[in-house]
């Protein structure tokens, strides 16, 4: 008899034009006045207008909160919650990549619980479900629009905290590949590698099971085929759609199987050095695979085969991933991005406290984590 497993996700609509359903979904969920959470970069595109006009078409009032930065801060969440209250909103629509979506999900928890966002750190620490949240992702990578996770930067400790709770799963996700057409090459590459890391870590997670495996392996297949072309041909919507589907599947996988050492270490880098999350994942992935390989050998063989390799051993997979990330422009080291030897003890300590480490297939010591950081310098 197998262990009990559960699988949770938001309701989602996938396809071109899904963003124009925002008003209808908000109305169906009882919206009266909507807080539209986004970032300033997206304010310069037409996507905010698409969503706001959809709300207006249903007769809904809205207020825009765009004070969200990459690696969203605790004070940004609290400021958004203050706007939600002051404007007497009763629903949230998030438009953006992982940062606006995570910020929006955290705002929802704050306004329904009357607590500080940092009080939610850890697993199942949110007493009361969030107000309704609808997500419209504009990057193909984070999976935040269907996941139980929100990652927020504690700006005093300079540590990224993980909030993991079923209440973090949005009520609806409108997944529209057309929204990713505004991404540049660098963001396409970084978010795509984030999705690849999600899928690989979910597949080797010690909490994986049949449904998460199906999603993870399919995401790996699609990313291997589509990401280099999405970077090289940003106008080609076939590859954009493929990457959006892979991001969704990887999100479903990691939300339910959790992650591992790559993300624990990437969160520590993002907290201390404000590093782009997708790049941090990309630069750590091959080194963590090398460390984990003896503890999940057959699983890594399956990953290699999903990428079109023979599955002959660790060197084949590690070399492929190194060449794959380099081919899409992520060819630097952590040292190139400002990480020094002196940073490693503090980074390793933060990594060991991250909840993602619990589901890593091999339990590392702090010395193991320090050694992996050194190899990635």
Written as one string, the DSSP assignment of 143-169 is: -TTT-SEEEEEETTTTEEEEEE-GGGS
Q: What is the pTM of this model?
A: 0.96
**299 exposed, middle or buried (CB, 10 Å; 0-12, 13-18, 19+)?**
buried
Query: pLDDT per residue over 91-101, tens digit each?
Result: 999 999 999 99
With 0-12 / 13-18 / 19 or more C-beta atoms within 10 angstroms meaning exposed / middle / buried, residue 78 is: middle
Encode burial over 187-202: b for 16+ CB neighbours within 10 A, e otherwise. Answer: bbbbbbbbbbbbbbbb
Report the C-alpha gap between 5 and 3 in whole angstroms. 6
Tell me, what's the pLDDT at 66?
97
pLDDT tens track for 134-172:
999 999 999 999 999 999 999 999 999 999 999 999 999
| Per-residue model confidence (pLDDT) at position 3 | 82
Are 67 and 191 within one domain? no
Task: Establish if 6 belongs to a structural domain.
Answer: no
pLDDT over 90 (residue 300): yes
pLDDT at 219 (0 to 100)? 98
Lookup: tokens for 360: 């890593």
Here the CATH number for the domain that contains residue 129 is 3.40.50.1970
Buried b (16+ CB within 10 A) or exposed e, 81-96: bebbeeeebbbbbbbb
Measure the CA angle with vertex 196, ends 190 and 199; round to 5°.
145
% of the chain with per-residue pLDDT over 90: 95
* Last residue in a domain, options 179, 198, 222: 179
Q: Are residues 23 and 107 both part of a single domain?
A: yes
Report residue 55: phi and psi, to 5°: -65, -45
For the chain, state the CA radius of gyration.
19
Dist. CA 179–CA 135, nearest whole Å: 12
The number of domains in the chain is 2
Is there a domain that residue 89 lies in?
Answer: yes
Residue at a domain's end among 120, 151, 179: 179
pLDDT recorded at residue 292: 98
pLDDT surpasses 70 at 276: yes
* 81-119 pLDDT, tens digit each: 999 999 999 999 999 999 999 999 999 999 999 999 999
Q: Please report which confidence band the pLDDT of residue 338 belongs to, taking 50, 70 and 90 as the band edges.
A: very high
Token duo for residue 201: 């870590």
Verify that 272 and 217 share a domain, yes or no. Answer: yes
Q: Please tell me the predicted confidence (pLDDT) of residue 150.
A: 96
φ, ψ at 152 (rounded to 5°): -125, 140
252 alpha carbon, distance to own chain's centre: 11
Last residue of a domain, one of 151, 179, 207: 179
Has residue 2 been placed in a domain? Answer: no
CA atoms within 13 A on the CB side of 45: 19
The SS3 call for residue 240 is helix
Q: Are residues 251 and 120 in the same domain?
A: no
* Gap between the Cα atoms of 257 and 245, Å rounded: 18
Does residue 3 lie in a domain region? no
Q: How far is CA 311 from the centre of its chain?
A: 27
Q: Is residue 217 predicted with pLDDT exceeding 80?
A: yes
Same domain, residue pair 173 and 25: yes
- Distance between CA 80 and CA 215 in Å, rounded? 33
With cut-offs at 50, 70 and 90, classify the pLDDT of residue 312: confident
Average of per-residue pLDDT across 229-251: 97
Sheet-wide strand order for 159-164: 122-123, 159-164, 149-154
Position 29 scores a pLDDT of 97
Q: In which residue are the tokens 């060197």 written?
A: 315
Q: Is residue 1 situated within a structural domain? A: no
Residues 265 and 146 placed together within one structural domain of the fold: no
- Do 170 and 282 have their domain in common? no
* Domain membership flag for residue 4: no
Residue among 203, 187, 205, 315 at smallest CA distance from 243: 187
**Structural domain contains residue 5:** no
User: Which residues fall within 8 angstroms of residue 186, CB to CB, at 6 or more apart?
Assistant: 329
- Please state the rounded mean pLDDT for residues 300-326: 96
Percent of the chain clearing pLDDT 70 (strictly above):
99
- Residue 112 and residue 233 in one domain: no
Provide the pLDDT for residue 311.
87
Name residue 14's beta-bridge partners. 175
Tokens representing residue 143 in the block: 């999976």
d(CA 344, CA 273): 12
Residue 366: what pLDDT?
A: 98
In this structure, are 174 and 199 located in the same domain? Answer: no
Residue 112 and residue 191 share a domain: no
The pLDDT of 297-318, averaged and rounded, is: 96
Q: Are 87 and 130 in contact (CB under 8 A)?
A: no
Reported confidence tier of residue 179, pLDDT bands at 50, 70, 90 = very high
Q: What is d(CA 289, CA 309) in angstroms, rounded to the nearest whole number?
A: 15
What distance in Å separates the CA atoms of residue 102 and residue 372, rounded to the nearest whole number? Answer: 28
Does residue 152 sit in the same domain as residue 270?
Answer: no
Please state, in angstroms and rounded to a whole number, the distance separating the CA atoms of residues 138 and 353: 30
The DSSP annotation for 191-228 comes to HHHHHHHHHHHHHH-TT--HHHHHHHHHHHHHHHHHHH
Domain that holds residue 257: 185-376
Tell me which of 18-32, 52-66, 204-218, 269-283 is least confident.
269-283
281's enclosing H/E stretch is helix 277-292
* Residue 367 pLDDT class (50, 70, 90 cuts): very high
Mean pLDDT of the chain: 96
Residues 267 and 308 in one domain: yes
What CATH number is associated with residue 299?
A: 1.20.1090.10
């Amino acid at each position: 008899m197998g262990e009990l497993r559960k699988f949770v996700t938001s309701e989602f609509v996938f396809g071109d034009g899904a963003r124009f359903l925002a008003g209808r979904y908000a109305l169906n969920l009882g919206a009266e006045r909507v807080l539209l959470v986004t970032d300033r970069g997206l304010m310069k595109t037409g996507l905010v207008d698409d969503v706001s006009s959809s709300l207006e078409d249903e007769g809904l009032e809205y207020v825009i909160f765009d004070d969200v930065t990459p690696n969203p801060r605790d004070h940004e969440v609290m400021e958004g919650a203050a706007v939600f209250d002051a404007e007497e909103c009763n629903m949230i629509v998030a438009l953006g990549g992982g940062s606006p979506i995570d910020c929006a999900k955290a705002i929802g928890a704050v306004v329904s619980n009357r607590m500080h966002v940092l009080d939610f750190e850890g697993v199942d620490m949110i007493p009361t479900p969030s107000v309704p949240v609808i997500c419209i992702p504009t990057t193909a990578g984070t999976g935040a629009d269907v996941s139980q996770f929100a990652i927020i930067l504690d700006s005093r400790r300079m540590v990224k905290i993980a909030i993991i709770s079923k209440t973090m799963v949005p009520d609806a996700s409108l997944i529209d590949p057309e929204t990713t057409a505004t991404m540049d090459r660098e963001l396409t590459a970084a978010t795509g590698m984030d999705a690849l890391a999600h899928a690989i870590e979910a597949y080797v997670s010690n909490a994986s099971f049949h449904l998460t495996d199906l999603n993870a392996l399919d995401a790996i297949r699609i990313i291997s085929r589509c990401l280099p072309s999405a970077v090289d041909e940003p106008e080609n919507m076939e590859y954009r759609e493929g990457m959006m589907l892979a991001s969704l599947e990887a999100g479903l996988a990691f939300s339910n199987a959790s992650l591992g050492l790559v993300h624990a270490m990437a969160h520590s880098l993002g907290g201390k050095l404000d590093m782009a999350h997708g790049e941090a994942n990309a630069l750590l992935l091959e080194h963590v695979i090398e460390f984990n390989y003896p503890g999940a050998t057959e699983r890594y063989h399956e990953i290699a085969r999903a990428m079109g390799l023979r599955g002959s051993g660790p060197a084949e997979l590690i070399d492929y991933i190194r060449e794959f990330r380099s081919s899409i422009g992520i060819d630097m080291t952590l040292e190139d991005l400002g990480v020094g030897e002196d940073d490693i003890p503090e980074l390793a300590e933060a990594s060991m406290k991250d909840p993602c480490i619990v589901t890593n297939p091999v339990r590392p010591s702090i010395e193991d984590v320090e050694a992996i950081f050194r190899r990635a310098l």
